[in-house]
């Protein structure tokens, strides 16, 4: 009997640099979104359910587009990331307009997920091999705090149109040691990472592994995130309108506390993403080439 696995897709954020709701920007020949290709690959790799984390205001458009297409192929559920979904009524968040971050988004899905799950961004293309290696790992999990991260070589994740945000991975004997969220860009012949915590910029090699927010967890993650969300809000009273409760920061903290181990998984897959609107043309060309190569059908959900 195949083990149930869930694909958790974070789709509540608006693409500020891209200039719109890039999660539902057509890139395939029949109007497919990047989300469609992620779900198609996940189904092939053995995932049995998909959970979208979205804003309540976007429920109708999600259900009418990608939701209606994929529901014929896999179980679909929705979790809603709302600003007022807080552990206490004492938090003065008035004036805040953006979601609370990726860790909060994951926490919003805790009532829907009771099996190992893979978290991804809605606006990234990860490639079939990435889902295969993650699926193999997750099928061995129960509810243990032993997680995984799928890493990509940084040189294959840069944009020609500006800096990008990447999680720089430090690895020892196949295990993640720390994760440094950074803005990354080419400066001459070098690749420079500028940590978001404002520590000193540093140079990274082209084969340095980075996190593209493709992480595998078990439900053991939820109690930790729930317990520490209140602490996070208390610590950020002075920047409550802009602070973000993020998965990379939570993973880093859990490793430091010895609560988890995270296995670094490598993949031969090619990552694609739309950080900037100018990235779209390259993605469309790549999708068309993959179709010509027989990796994907021309009509992804054709019965």
Q: What is the pTM of this model?
A: 0.92
**Which residues of the chain fall below pLDDT 50?**
14-20
Residue 191: predicted pLDDT: 95
Is the sign of the CA dihedral 67, 284, 247, 233 positive or negative? negative
The listed CATH number (3.10.580.10, 1.10.10.10, 3.30.420.40, 3.90.550.10) that belongs to domain 6-292? 3.90.550.10
Burial class of residue 124 (count of CB atoms within 10 Å of its CB; 0-12, 13-18, 19+): buried
Is the sign of the CA dihedral 162, 164, 168, 174 positive or negative? negative
């Amino acid at each position: 009997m195949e083990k149930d696995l869930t694909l958790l897709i974070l789709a509540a954020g608006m693409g500020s640099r891209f200039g719109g709701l890039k999660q539902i920007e057509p890139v395939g020949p029949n109007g497919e979104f990047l989300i469609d290709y992620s779900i198609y690959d996940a189904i092939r790799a053995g995932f049995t359910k998909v959970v979208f984390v979205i804003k309540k205001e976007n429920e109708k458009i999600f259900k009418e587009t990608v939701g209606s297409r994929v529901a014929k192929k896999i179980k679909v559920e929705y979790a809603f990331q709302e600003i007022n979904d807080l552990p206490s009524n004492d938090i003065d968040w008035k004036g805040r307009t953006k979601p609370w971050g990726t860790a909060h988004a994951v926490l919003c899905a805790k009532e829907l997920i009771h099996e190992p799950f893979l978290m991804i961004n809605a606006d990234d293309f990860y490639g079939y091999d990435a889902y295969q290696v993650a699926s193999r790992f997750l099928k061995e999990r129960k509810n243990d705090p032993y997680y995984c991260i799928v890493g990509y070589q940084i040189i294959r994740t840069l944009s020609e149109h500006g800096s990008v945000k990447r999680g720089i991975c430090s690895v020892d004997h196949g295990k993640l040691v720390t994760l440094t969220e950074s803005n990354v860009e080419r400066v001459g012949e070098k690749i420079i990472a500028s940590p978001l915590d404002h520590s000193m910029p540093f140079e990274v090699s082209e084969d340095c592994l980075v996190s593209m927010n493709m992480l595998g967890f078990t439900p053991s993650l939820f109690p930790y995130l729930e317990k520490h969300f209140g602490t996070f809000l208390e610590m950020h009273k002075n920047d409550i309108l802009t602070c973000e409760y993020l998965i990379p920061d939570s993973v880093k903290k859990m490793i430091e506390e010895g609560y988890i181990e995270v296995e670094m998984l490598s993949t031969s897959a090619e990552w694609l993403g739309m950080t900037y609107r100018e990235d779209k043309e390259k993605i469309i060309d790549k999708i068309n080439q993959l179709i010509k190569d027989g990796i994907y059908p021309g009509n992804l959900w054709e019965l």
